[in-house]
Amino acid sequence: MKKLLITGSSGLIGSEVCHYFAKELGYEIHGVDNNQRAIFFGPQGDTRWNQQRLQREIKGFVHHEIDIRDRQGVLDLLAMVKPDAIVHTAAQPSHDRAAAISFDDFDTNAVGTINLLEAARRACPESPFVHMSTNKVYGDRPNTIALKELETRWDYADPAFAHGIAEEFSIDQSKHSLFGASKVAADIVVQEYGRYFNMPTCCLRGGCLTGPNHSGVELHGFLSYLVKCNLEAKEYRIFGYKGKQVRDNIHSLDVARFMAAFVQAPREAEVYNLGGGKENSCSILEAFAITEKFTGKKQQSTYVDENRIGDHICYYSDLRKMKDHFPSWDITQSLEETIRQIVDAWRNRI
């Protein structure tokens, strides 16, 4: 039986990957998570419920309570498990949170990643290594693209970006936030282990990754948190850009499906922009409208006339490279269906 080692297994993406690889590909799953999300974001970010769900639902699931910053722990774990594939999703994931916890952020995102890469190189250099990166590696440079203002959203005015932002876009000389900077460090080192050591690595620069199993909080997990606010009649705070800022949203199932496609046909040192693309993009105002349709409740919101530092005004991923390299992969979960599932999930959880 093939073995998958997945870090951040109790999180949104990690848990989806556990299920997908166990059920669809028959892998034995080794999850690594220490519930650090509860330390980063407080009790609202707690992911133990998801860990318990995995232990209940996946036969033979092995949970490893290890902090990826623990270098020796990671080296010993990889030497013991010798996985056939590694998916790395553990992270301090918040743009805004990073400034207050800069050491924890960098140690988790950058140092944790090299701990895993080096451990993989020593234990199983042939095993595909999939790293969850972020579109924040592009910093605020996407905001330099000419935009047009539409009734409910911003969009690119420059036809060069009609399909969205592609992987050649510069990651240099822009404001990233400390989170973006620690993720750039990780992204580059993952590419380097691919190029320098010929390991089958890839970086997935995620747009908004979402789904019913997110423990959304104000500082991370945009749609999940927005829906939760709607259901609890709590005010959602819009930070600047008239609420017309655009994100592309991809369901965690489609993320897991892409990771599986890469693991089955790996390449070296690849980079992909992984998001919902233009079709699954929405502004905050548009997300309110779709959510209201499913909950029947009006979204309560307040407007803060100051944008989040380095926040993108309009971002959607150009998915053409992914589809070109993996023609059988496509988005299967529409934005509306994704929001419907998030509404259902919160109804059961709150």
Q: Would you tell me which residues interact with ligand NAD (CB under 6 A)? A: 8, 10-14, 32-37, 47, 67-69, 89-91, 93, 108, 112, 132, 134, 206, 208-209, 221
Query: Helix, strand or coil for residue 96?
Result: coil
Shortest distance in whole angstroms from residue 151 CB to ligand NAD: 26
Give the gyration radius of the chain's Cα atoms: 19
Tell whether the torsion through CA atoms of 21, 22, 25 and 26 is positive or negative.
Answer: positive
Q: Least distance to ligand NAD from the beta carbon of 226, Å?
A: 12
Are the C-beta atoms of 266 and 200 separated by less than 8 Å? Answer: yes
Instruction: State which residue, 14 or 128, has the beta carbon closest to ligand NAD.
Output: 14
Specify the residue, 297 or 349, whose C-beta has the smaller distance to ligand NAD: 349
Closest approach, Cβ 298 to ligand NAD, in A, equals 25
CB of 115 to ligand NAD, least distance (A): 10
Encoding tokens for residue 65? 């309570």
For the residues of 243-279, what is the DSSP string, one character each? G--EEEEEEHHHHHHHHHHHHHS--SSEEEEES-TGG
Q: How far is the CB of 145 from ligand NAD (least distance, A)?
A: 19
Give a three-class secondary structure readout of 61-90. CEEECCCCCCHHHHHHHHHHHCCCEEEECC
Closest distance between ligand NAD and the C-beta of residue 334, in Å? 17
CB of 104 to ligand NAD, least distance (A): 8
- Rounded CA-CA distance 120/151 in Å is 49
What is the CA angle 161-165-167, rounded to 5? 130
Residue 110 or 238 with smaller CB distance to ligand NAD: 110
Q: Specify the residue, 237 or 297, whose C-beta has the smaller distance to ligand NAD.
A: 237
Nearest Cα neighbor of 79 from 55, 40, 131, 115 is 115
Name the minimum Å distance from CB 91 to ligand NAD. 3
For the record, the structure tokens of 312 come out as: 């993108």
Contact 232, 304 (CB under 8 A): no
We find the least distance from the C-beta atom of residue 159 to ligand NAD, in angstroms, to be 26
Q: Torsion angle of alpha carbons 114, 116, 120, 121, nearest 10°?
A: 10
CB closer to ligand NAD, 14 vs 194: 14
The whole-angstrom separation of Cα 146 and Cα 342 is 33
Nearer to ligand NAD, 89 or 281 (CB): 89
Nearer to ligand NAD, 8 or 83 (CB): 8
Phi/psi class of residue 85: alpha, beta or left (left: φ > 0; alpha: ψ in -120 to 50)? beta
Sign of CA dihedral 13, 19, 24, 30: positive
Residue nearest to ligand NAD (CB): 11
Q: Which is nearer to ligand NAD, 64 or 244 (CB)?
A: 64
Q: Which is nearer to ligand NAD, 36 or 245 (CB)?
A: 36
Helices 284-295 and 335-349 sit at what angle, rounded to 10 degrees? 60
